[in-house]
A and B are shown apart, each in its own frame.
Chain A
Amino acid sequence: MEAVCNQNFNNSDMESSYGIVEKQFFHIKDENFTLQCGEKLEYITIAYETFGTLNKKKNNAILVFHALTGDSHAAGFYKDSDEKPGWWNIVIGPGKAIDTDKYFVICSNILGGCMGSTGPSSTLPDKTTHYNMKFPVITVTDMVRCQKRLMDHLNIKQLLSTIGGSLGGMQAMEWSVRYPDMVKSVIPLATTMKHSALSIAFNEVARHAIKSDPKWNNGNYNDESKPDTGLSVARMIGHITYLSDESMREKFGRKLQNKKDISFTFDSQFQVESYLKYQGEKFVERFDANSFLYITKATDYFDLEMQYGNGSSVKAFSKAKAKFLVVSYSSDWLYPTYESKAIVKALKKNRLDVSFCEIESTLGHDAFLLYDNRLNKMLKGFLSSVYNGIKNEI
């Protein structure tokens, strides 16, 4: 669900990268903006970044969605001295799979996030205090509706493609059924139409870790005293679900960290223990605990079948018109291949144009964020064929 950020990155990437990009902010003021939960959110800010140039016909726009803990910084750098590029720099850039010389790519931070868009850590319109747990419960639909407002603002009426993995894939699919006339193609990667009990269970344990931390204080914490312990445990749990038995065996096995023998203590001794601890600690520096609660809940509530098809996956896609490329990964145990195949089946039964590939990988759910030539080539070929099909339309 989230960038591992241990991508093989070196200086040569800087040259082939998109270059410098600036985070922008779009403000919605609408007293009638009612969320799916029924509450209203009058003021919303959406942080977004764009890569490439919108052509004259405005038919080369691609909307990319980040996963659980990502942000609008999908590619490029904010400044020359940045150590790391955006989270999908391996896929988005000049000449890359999502070619910024050809396409205009937009990525925004989701509603409920903590990377520039309005979320629980934002201040209330009167600036008195932060929303914290008074923030309304948001859903994938709410996120998508904000993105639609952003497209209206950018004067984009047609999307060549909506692309995302995991929670990003949920948004990509929701676009195809909510705004079927706008979306020409959809690429859902490592995703699902609805969370399984397994996925909900992991999320609930993660949320429980946060809520059990005394410093969480019902969501009312400040920078000096944050529920770092709870959030880092939540991250550790999440991280396990993004890996796989195979990848953990290959990467860690039973190797010890800086030790020759086990010490019969409760310190972190196995490499996998220190790795998870490090991932947890690193995560609390950049992510808000309440945001984590809200976003994981949004993924649990997501149910495309129920919301758009009254329980029928076939009916859910009945309004969709787009061409689809569905990709799953063989070792993804969070959203296993059978869940992608269920999407494919529903699309087929609607006679929609769909391609599907299960990429053989040992890397687990996070595989979609790591460099894979097979995925890159498929994305490139698929997008070209969609673009060739529409570029001469008036």
Chain B
Amino acid sequence: MRFDLEIIASWIKTESTVLGLGCGEGDLLYYLKNKKKVKETGIEIKESKVALCIEKGLSVLQGDVNQEIEDYADNSFDYCILSQTLQQVYNPEGLFKEILRVGKRAIVSFPNFAHYKIRLQLLLAGKAPVSRELPYQWYDTPNIRILTLEDFKIFSNKIGFEIHNQAAIKPGDKSHEGKIVNFLPNLFATYGIYEIGN
């Protein structure tokens, strides 16, 4: 499994309940269901991806995360997972309030826009950065929110949530490889993963 997903999985307690927001083809949920006996629910907007999830035997709903999450009562899940989805969320503030309402904890991961290669592209080439993590041109990107590890800390203060666990990572050449970045993470990590709660 992908390195970042493996870290997320390692934080999740066995037999817990998980809501995966923007769960894609369900790789993480499938792993959690089969390896950690998690009771999974996924929300994904794309029909073809939803169909793949259901085919795998996962419980997944097609829909928009902002709307679908409203139907759940407070503390319905042990964890809400927002893996590589935040950069595409229209109203992050509203969604964070929701995931912290329906989930006892939330796990959030996103690409770090302050990685030194991105900084250099802007500084030296003077062009909107394009990277492995954010591989789109400015005119065709679905990523409408670009943020840094530092921004996320400031955001946590603004919204008022606690960061209980965090990992700044740099994936290796193969998708399942990677390492934790402890030295100047906001400069050298390509992704940040956070476990947050009220």
A residues sitting closer than 8 Å to B (CB atoms) are 323, 325, 341, 344-345, 348-349, 351, 353-360, 374, 377-378, 380-382, 384-385, 388
Tell whether A381 pairs with B56 under 8 Å between CB atoms, given A348-B72, A349-B71, A356-B63. Answer: yes
The 4 closest A-B pairs by CB, nearest first: A385-B57, A381-B55, A348-B71, A378-B54
| A-chain residues with CB within 8 Å of residue B165 when the two chains form the complex | none
When the two chains form their complex, are residues A344 and B61 in contact, meaning their CB atoms are under 8 A apart?
yes
Query: How far apart are B159's CB and chain A's nearest CB, in angstroms?
Result: 25
When the two chains form their complex, are residues A377 and B71 in contact, meaning their CB atoms are under 8 A apart?
no
When the two chains form their complex, are residues A354 and B61 in contact, meaning their CB atoms are under 8 A apart?
yes
Contact of A360 among B47, B71, B73 (CB under 8 A): B47
Which residue in chain B gives the minimum CB-CB distance to A324? B59
> Is B60 an interface residue when CB atoms closer than 8 A count as contact?
yes
Q: How far apart are the CA atoms of A325 and B56 in the complex, in Å?
A: 13
Chain B 19-60, CB within 8 Å of chain A: the 1/0 string?
000000000000000000000010000011011011111111
Tell whether A345 pairs with B55 under 8 Å between CB atoms, given A355-B60, A356-B63. Answer: no
Query: How far apart are B84's CB and chain A's nearest CB, in angstroms?
Result: 22
| B-chain residues with CB within 8 Å of residue A359 when the two chains form the complex | 47, 51
| A-chain residues with CB within 8 Å of residue B68 when the two chains form the complex | 348
> Is B14 an interface residue when CB atoms closer than 8 A count as contact?
no
When the two chains form their complex, are residues A353 and B59 in contact, meaning their CB atoms are under 8 A apart?
yes
When the two chains form their complex, are residues A374 and B51 in contact, meaning their CB atoms are under 8 A apart?
yes
Q: How far apart are the CA atoms of A348 and B71 in the complex, in Å?
A: 7
20 examples of A-B residue contacts, CB within 8 angstroms: A323-B59, A325-B54, A348-B68, A353-B41, A353-B59, A354-B61, A355-B53, A355-B58, A355-B61, A356-B62, A356-B63, A357-B50, A357-B51, A357-B54, A359-B47, A359-B51, A380-B55, A382-B57, A385-B58, A388-B57
| A-chain residues with CB within 8 Å of residue B73 when the two chains form the complex | 349, 351
Q: How far apart are the CA atoms of A353 and B48 in the complex, in Å?
A: 20
Contact of B61 among A323, A356, A381 (CB under 8 A): A356
Q: How far apart are the CA atoms of A111 and B73 in the complex, in Å?
A: 40
Report whether over half of chain A's contact residues are helix, strand or loop; otherwise say mixed: helix
Which residue in chain A gives the minimum CB-CB distance to B68? A348
Which residue in chain A gives the minimum CB-CB distance to B50? A357
| B-chain residues with CB within 8 Å of residue A351 when the two chains form the complex | 73, 76
When the two chains form their complex, are residues A377 and B47 in contact, meaning their CB atoms are under 8 A apart?
no
Which residue in chain B gives the minimum CB-CB distance to A381? B55
Tell whether A377 pairs with B55 under 8 Å between CB atoms, given A348-B72, A349-B71. Answer: yes
Q: How far apart are the CA atoms of A99 and B53 in the complex, in Å?
A: 20
When the two chains form their complex, are residues A382 and B54 in contact, meaning their CB atoms are under 8 A apart?
yes
Query: How far apart are A184's CB and chain B's nearest CB, in angstroms?
Result: 14
Q: How far apart are the CA atoms of A374 and B62 in the complex, in Å?
A: 14
When the two chains form their complex, are residues A381 and B71 in contact, meaning their CB atoms are under 8 A apart?
no
| A-chain residues with CB within 8 Å of residue B48 when the two chains form the complex | 374
When the two chains form their complex, are residues B55 and A357 in contact, meaning their CB atoms are under 8 A apart?
no
Which residue in chain A gives the minimum CB-CB distance to B44? A357
Q: How far apart are the CA atoms of A2 and B44 in the complex, in Å?
A: 31
| A-chain residues with CB within 8 Å of residue B50 when the two chains form the complex | 355-357
When the two chains form their complex, are residues B54 and A358 in contact, meaning their CB atoms are under 8 A apart?
no
Which residue in chain A gives the minimum CB-CB distance to B39? A353
* Residue of A356, A357, A380, A382 contacting most chain B CB atoms (<10 Å): A357
Q: How far apart are the CA atoms of A353 and B17 in the complex, in Å?
A: 12
| B-chain residues with CB within 8 Å of residue A381 when the two chains form the complex | 54-57
Q: How far apart are the CA atoms of A355 and B63 in the complex, in Å?
A: 11
* Residue of A380, A381, A384 contacting most chain B CB atoms (<10 Å): A381
Query: How far apart are B60's CB and chain A's nearest CB, in angstroms?
Result: 5
Q: How far apart are the CA atoms of A358 and B61 in the complex, in Å?
A: 9
| A-chain residues with CB within 8 Å of residue B59 when the two chains form the complex | 323, 353-355
Q: How far apart are the CA atoms of A388 and B62 in the complex, in Å?
A: 24
Tell whether A358 pairs with B62 under 8 Å between CB atoms, given A345-B71, A351-B76. Answer: yes
| A-chain residues with CB within 8 Å of residue B62 when the two chains form the complex | 356-358
Q: How far apart are the CA atoms of A247 and B47 in the complex, in Å?
A: 20
Which residue in chain B gives the minimum CB-CB distance to A358? B62
When the two chains form their complex, are residues B47 and A357 in contact, meaning their CB atoms are under 8 A apart?
yes
Query: How far apart are B171's CB and chain A's nearest CB, in angstroms?
Result: 29
Which residue in chain B gives the minimum CB-CB distance to A359? B47
Q: How far apart are the CA atoms of A358 and B72 in the complex, in Å?
A: 21
Q: How far apart are the CA atoms of A344 and B47 in the complex, in Å?
A: 16
Which residue in chain B gives the minimum CB-CB distance to A387? B57
Contacts A381-B54, A385-B58 known; 7 new A-B pairs at CB < 8 A: A353-B41, A354-B61, A355-B60, A357-B62, A374-B51, A377-B51, A381-B55
